[in-house]
Structures are given as structure tokens and as C-alpha cells.
Structure 1
Amino acid sequence: MLKHLPTEVLQKNGSSPVHGEALPLVYLAEKLSVKKWLLVVPALFLTLLSFRAQAQDPEIKATTTPTVKTQDTTIKHIIDELQRITDSDRQNSNSIQALLQGKELDNISKYELIKSNIINASETYYLLNKKIIDLKSRTTTNNLDVFITSLNNPESKALGFSLSDRIVDLVQKIILKNKDEKGEKNSKIVESTKSIINSPIFQSFTSLTPPLAIANSVMNFLHSVSVNNKQINQKSLQDFEKELNKYVVYYTALNDANQKFEYGLNFNKDQLGLLQDNLFDHLSFTATSLKFAPPQKGNKPLSQTMNDYFFDFKKEKVVDFFNQLETKYTSKGKRIDYESLLRENPNLKEVNNQLEDLVLQTKRFENLYNEYFTLLDSYYAKVNNSLKIAQDNNLAEKSVIDNKQAEFRNLKTEAVQEIQASINIRELYQNTEKIKYRYRIF
């Protein structure tokens, strides 16, 4: 440590100092005044004591002197901290902006979904109503109706015979034993039989088969005549009834086919009527929510009311409604405020969320549409069965029956194709598929 003092010398055998070298402490002291010397000695003494204490105390010796930060490192630390804060703020700002953009995109998606659904629904209302009316008006086709009517007509010779002529022939052959009908009693029996057949009452039957009523009336007449006419015995009546029953069985089968088909058609029409009532209610709700004038039930049939309403409630008007709505919520920067639009028009969400019911109504119509063809298939099978009975009972030639069955098959195929083309269920199906009713908006 002494080498750091202001003066430093090396003494060798008491030799005098050499010029150019530092003076030893002894000589330095001689040059100082007594007063200054007294100030220097205590300072040196304290310094020596301090170094001795450090050498003797191991704890003090092991202590690391703390690093003192300079002005440059402090500034650098402050700059680094400011940069970190700036980066964090930028990151937070980006995150917030992303959230805001995400919310805006979500509102746009909601609005576009609602808009698309309601526009497509307006077309679905129109198509569903049109097809309900079309199917309600269906029985079969004109050609098929003519065919069935000819089979059911007692005067028709569609199968090569007329039931009216056959009954008169059976009366003459079995009841009168082919005796001359010029006899008063025989003549009255024949004339009365013809009168029953040609009765206006039977000619007015529409839902029931006239041949069955005629056969039953003729049998009752002959039983009543047999009471006072000994010529008509029980065996003759039984033989007549046996032959007549061959025709009765055929017409009963045909009548059963007609009645079940008519019952099925009426049930189908009733279900279509209920479906149209539900469609009316749903359309009224949507129209009111969109601030359109809803359809009004009056004294007119519902089908006419609905048809009249669709002259005004069109897809184009619904599109125009949304165009006006977007214009209303467009800012000066030509940007649509979708959040405000949805918040201030909650009815749009409600209409969208109710569209599932409209889709279910279209599916109900599809079921009734398919049931109609199932009904037609069943009818076709039953009519063919009645023709088979006519063949088995030898009422007509096999070739005649075969031709009638082929004719009926072709007419039925034409009827199916005509109805399918008229209603076009695929058009309704494709339009309904555009309604994304599974996505509810809250």
C-alpha cells in the first residue's frame, strides 16, 4: 500500500537519497512544518489500521463491493422499459381491435343469415301455398275418371256387357224360364225390372255404385212378386241370385276401391286444409314483424285469400325492405352499422328463429304429397282386383280384361306424371333447402 503514497523510497544501508528518486518519509517530514506533520501522521495511522482490520476480519474480506450503476446504464434501462411498455400497448391495441373486428364480423354474419333466410322464406310461402291448392283440387285426372265411371256405369259395355241387359236376360232365363213375355204377368215382371234399372234415383248416385243398388232392388222386387206368383219359386230365386251375385261381387270390389279412394282423398284434403291454416298464421306473423300488412280472413275461401295476398307479398318486396333497412343504418362513410341494425330490429331475429316451423310445414306437405301417390297405388291395385274378379266369374273375355288392365295402367302412369309435373315438389324442396333454419340468432 505504501507505493501509493505521495512519496516512496527504497533505503539501502543508510545511503543518502539519489537525485531523481522520490524522497523517503523521513526526509519528507523534515521538509514539512510541525503543524502539517501533525495532520499527516493521524491520517496515515488510520489508513494503516483500516488495512490491518481488513486483513484480520475474513467476513469483511469476503464481501463483494456492489456495482455502481453509471448514468448510461440507468438511461438504457429506462429506454428499455419504455420500449417494453410501448410494445405491450401496441399488442393490447391490436388485440382489442381484433375483438372489435370479430364482433363486427359476427354482426354482419348474423344479419346476412337473417336476410337470406327471410328472403328465401318469402318465396317458400308462395310455393307452398300454390302447391297446397293444386293438390287439394286433385282427385285423379279426367281420363282416369272417365275410365272408372265407365266401369261403374250399368249401361256401359266397357267389359263387353251391359249390367242392365244382363239383369233382364237373367230374369227371362231363370225367373220366367224363357217363356213368352207377352203374358200379362211376365210382361209386368220384365217391365218392372227395366223400370227399376232405369230409375232416376239410381242414375243420381255418385258416391255409391249404382249397380249394387239396382241388383238389391231387383232382388227385393222378385221376392215380393214370388209371394203371389207361384211361377216364381225359391229355387228360381236362388239360381237368379247366384248368377246375379257374380256381378255383385265384381261391382262390390269396384265400389270398395272407389269408396276407399274417395275417403282417402277427403282425408288428404282435410289435412291440406289444416296445413294451409297453419301457413296463413305463420305468414301473418312474418308479415307483421316486417311491418307488412298481414293477410285478412274474410268471407272468401282461404285459398282465394292467400292467392290474392301473394299479389302484394312478393320476394321482390322483401328484398326492397332489406335494401331500405341497410340504407337507414348506413353512415356517412358508407359503412352499415350492423350492431345498431340488429339491436333496434329484434323482430328480424324472431322471424328467423320461427322459420323452423315453416320448414316443418313444407315437410308435412311432402308427406301428404307422397300419401296421395300411395293412395293412388292402392286404388290402382283394387281396381285391377275387381277386373280380375270379373274375369274369374266369366263376366267378360280374358282378352277384354287384359286390355282394360293395360289401359288402366297407362292412364294411371299418365296421371302420376301429370300431377308430378304440375306440382313439381322438387322446386319446393330446393327452395326450402336454402333456409338455414338450424342456426338460431340470439
Structure 2
Amino acid sequence: MNILYMKNYGRCFTILLFLMLHCFFTAWAQVPRTDTVPADTIVNNMEMRGAPAIQTRDTTIKHILEELQKVTDSDKQNSNAIQGLLQGKEIDNLTKYELVRNNLINASETYYLLNKKIIDLKSRTTTNNLDVFITSLNNPESKELGFSFSDRIVELVEKVVLKGKADKGERNGKIVESTKSIINSPIFQSFTSLTPPLAIANSVMNFLHSVSVNNKQISQKTLQEFEKELNKYVVYYTALNDANQKFEFGLNFNKDQLNLLQDNLYDHLMFTASALKFQLPQRGNKPIAETMNTFFLDEFKKEKVVDFFDKLEVKYTKGKRIDYELLLRENPNLKEVNNQLEDLILQTKRFENLYNEYFSLLDSYYTKVNNSLKIAQDNGLADKNLIENKQTEFRNLKNEAVTDIQASINIKELYNNTDKIKYRYRIF
């Protein structure tokens, strides 16, 4: 509206000036000539009456021409200003388009990288070497700390409960055999959790209490002595089991959060792909990871996003220039997708948090396992040097796991890509 006003104002002023000139010259022609009267007589008469001197015809015309030049200059300035505004508007549309294009091309790679790293972190919530190490520490048959828990239970039954008379009498022999049977029960062998030692200790204690009812040789004092010795092992396995359970719970929660993040990433990807007119994948009953991997492999590639914008520019090319204003007006979804890219960046930051949480879990787990090993040392279950060697072995395995995951996921690659997305610039 301002541009049209400036144009019309300049034209009206020019027309008005020419009308004034026309009227002036017409009136001038009708004034009686005074050439028959001497000029000095006219001047003297006017001076005698006190009247001001009249400008000559040449002075008036000069003034009018000067005013006309001012109008012409003003009109030229207005025209230049209008052209500048039009050019500035075109540059603004070009800037908006280039921002959208670059952001969405870079975002296409961010979608791919984020999905890949989510899958990688989910698959590395446990590590084989750490699993083997912890399983061996928690195995009742293992001698990683210089003893077998199963053997120690049998020894305590023979020495404390039966007072070293395990081979004296059929009853004592049956108690030892029953104890061994409990330890080797298929029920405990099939445990998938890391609690067999605690379950075995509890079962053996219940068995001895039931036997003591009909066996007067097994007193309550004897059972208390047995339980006291057994508890030295139970405390160690309880601490180890607590470390395992908390680590497992933390891993499961971390994995659930990664699944939720992947679902949100899928929804955001579908919104962007739809705006770019890509053929959306049919998820069906397939896992989301499989669906997204197939989509990135067959359809949603960076090269295809570049090709989409190249074809769009050709479509809106008129002569030798691209009509960016029309392009943006007829494709409003592109601006909307650009304005929603902040959500994608927030998802990458959420992944970063889950990534860091995983290493925090490892650190906490490392501390708890070391504490359980210290308990084994303090209770005299294992030699100090052996415990220190196991702690060193566990530290090396933990550091190896951290290094492997950091190298595999390469979080810096995701940082570098998201830095290319100017998500704070919104387009309206």
C-alpha cells in the first residue's frame, strides 16, 4: 500500500503543477501591455504609492522550472525507493527459501543418524565380557574368588551342623546328600536371574530347620553358628545381587526410553516426508527399527531430498529467475516443517541424555561390584591380592565397554550434523 501511495503521490503532484503553469500563462497573456508607457514612469508611480516592485517574466519562469525539477527529482527518488523495496522483498524470499532448503537437506541426514544411533545404543545395553565376568562371580560352582559356594555350604554343614561327623551314621549321611541335592536342584540351575546363591542358602537353611525338629543333635545354637558363617557369603552375594538388579533395572528403563524416543522420531519423520511428497512406509506388524531402516535405505535419502528441491526450483522458474515468493506461497508445508525442526533437535538432545545416562549406570555398577568384592575380602572369603586382581580386571572390562560404545555410536557425528540446522530461524 505504501509503494502505490508513493507512486500516485508523485504523479498527482506533477499533473497539478502543469495545470498551475497553464493557468498562469493564460492569465499572463490577458494582462494589457504596458510597452507604450515608459518603464521608469511605472516604477516611479509605484514607488510613490509605496507598492512593491513586480518580478519580471524571466524570474517567474526560472522559479517555476526549479520547482518542476524538484518534482522530477522527487519522483525519481520515489521510483528508486520502490524498486529497492521490491528487490528487498525478492531477496527476503530467496533467503527464506535457501534456509528451508538447507535445513531440510541437513535434517534428512539427522533423521538417519539419530535412528542408527538409537538402535546401536539399545543393542549395547549389555556387553558380553562384562556379562561373563559377573556371571562367574555369581555362579555357586565358580571358583573365581578361590572358593566354590556350593562346596563351602557342604563343608559348613559337615563341620558346624554335624560337628565333623558326617560319615558317622546314616542320618548324617542323608543330611549331607540332601544338602547336595538342594544345591544341584534343576530349579536353581534354570534360574535366569542372578540370584542362585541366595536362593540356595535360603533353601538349605529351611531344610536344616525342618530336620532339627526331629533331630535332637542339631540344636538352635548349632543352627545359629551355621547361619552366622553362611551369612558371610550371603552378605557378599546380596551386595553383588543388589548391584546386578539395579544395573538391570537401569538398563531396562534406558531401553524403554530409547524405544519411546524412536517412536517420536518416526512420527516426526513421517510429517517431514509427507511435506516433501515421499511415499510413506507401511509399518504393519514389523518392528519400528526395521521399518525405518528400510525407509532410509529405499526412499528417504539425502540425495532424494536434494532432487526434490531441484525439481521444485525448475517448476517455479520464469525466464531466467525463480519466483521464490510464489514457490513459498504455494508450498506452505515446507515452512511448517522448517518451523518444527526444533522438535528434531530436542530429540537429539534427549538421545544425548540417554547416552550419558548409560555411562552413569556403568559407573554406578562398577562402584557397587567393587563394594561387594570388598565385603568378600573383609569377611575372609578370599585373599586380598585375589580381590584386588578381580577389581582391576573389572575396571579394565568396564573401560573397554565404554571405549567400544563411544567409538561405535560416535556422538560427535550427531553434534556436527545438528549444528548445520538453523532451527532457531522461523519462517512465517
TM > 0.5: yes
Say if 1:283 and 1:294, in contact at 8 Å, map to a contact too. no
Matched, 1:298 2:284: yes
Task: Give how far 1:295 is off.
Answer: 2.9
Tell me what 2:376 maps to.
390
In 2: Cα distance, 1:325 partner to 1:416 partner: 46
| Amino acid aligned to 1:327 | V
- Identical aligned residues as a percent: 79
In 2: Cα distance, 1:244 partner to 1:259 partner: 22
Give the unaligned 5+ runs of structure 1.
1-49
Tell me what 2:426 maps to.
440
Tell me what 1:8 maps to.
none
Task: Give how far 1:415 is off.
Answer: 0.6
| Amino acid aligned to 2:377 | Q
**Deviation by residue 1:349-403 (Cα, 9 ceiling, x = unmatched):** 0000111111111111111111111111111111001001000000000000000
In 2: Cα distance, 1:421 partner to 1:411 partner: 15
Corresponding residue to 1:191 among 173, 177, 186: 177
SS of 2:228's equivalent in the other structure is helix
**Deviation by residue 1:190-220 (Cα, 9 ceiling, x = unmatched):** 1111111111111111224100000000111
In 2: Cα distance, 1:64 partner to 1:231 partner: 152
Q: Pick the structure with greater CA Rg.
A: 1
Tell me what 2:311 maps to.
324
Corresponding residue to 1:236 among 201, 212, 222: 222
Say if 1:171 and 1:240, in contact at 8 Å, map to a contact too. yes
In 2: Cα distance, 1:411 partner to 1:202 partner: 28
Tell me what 2:10 maps to.
none
Say if 2:133 and 2:394, in contact at 8 Å, map to a contact too. yes
| Amino acid aligned to 1:137 | S
| 1:274-289 superposed matches below 5 A | 274-289=260-275
**Deviation by residue 1:148-176 (Cα, 9 ceiling, x = unmatched):** 11101011111111101111111111011
Task: Give how far 1:182 is off.
Answer: 5.5
In 1: Cα distance, 2:325 partner to 2:218 partner: 96
SS of 2:318's equivalent in the other structure is coil
| Amino acid aligned to 1:140 | T
| Amino acid aligned to 2:307 | D
Equivalent pairs counted in the alignment come to 387
Task: Give how far 1:134 is off.
Answer: 1.2
Say if 2:138 and 2:194, in contact at 8 Å, map to a contact too. no
Say if 1:272 and 1:365, in contact at 8 Å, map to a contact too. yes
CA-atom RMSD in angstroms: 1.9
Greater shift in the superposed pair: 188-197 or 173-182: 173-182
Say if 2:140 and 2:148, in contact at 8 Å, map to a contact too. yes
TM-score (norm 1): 0.84
Corresponding residue to 1:69 among 56, 61, 72: 56
Say if 1:286 and 1:351, in contact at 8 Å, map to a contact too. yes
SS of 2:214's equivalent in the other structure is coil
Tell me what 1:414 maps to.
400
In 1: Cα distance, 2:209 partner to 2:82 partner: 101
Task: Give how far 1:305 is off.
Answer: 1.2
Say if 2:166 and 2:176, in contact at 8 Å, map to a contact too. no
Tell me what 1:12 maps to.
none
Say if 2:135 and 2:194, in contact at 8 Å, map to a contact too. no
| 1:8-27 superposed matches below 5 A | none
Corresponding residue to 1:341 among 324, 327, 347: 327
In 2: Cα distance, 1:66 partner to 1:411 partner: 111
Task: Give how far 1:432 is off.
Answer: 1.1
| 1:72-91 superposed matches below 5 A | 72-91=58-77
| 1:24-423 superposed matches below 5 A | 61=48, 63-70=50-57, 72-181=58-167, 183-311=169-297, 312-333=299-320, 335-423=321-409
TM-score (norm 2): 0.87
Say if 1:181 and 1:190, in contact at 8 Å, map to a contact too. no
Task: Give how far 1:80 is off.
Answer: 2.5
Give the unaligned 5+ runs of structure 2.
1-40
Task: Give how far 1:78 is off.
Answer: 3.8
| Amino acid aligned to 1:113 | L
**Deviation by residue 1:35-81 (Cα, 9 ceiling, x = unmatched):** xxxxxxxxxxxxxxx99x97xxxx963614423423x4344334323
Q: 1:180 to 1:212 in 2, by over 3 A?
A: closer
Say if 2:100 and 2:334, in contact at 8 Å, map to a contact too. yes
Say if 1:212 and 1:251, in contact at 8 Å, map to a contact too. yes
| Amino acid aligned to 2:164 | N
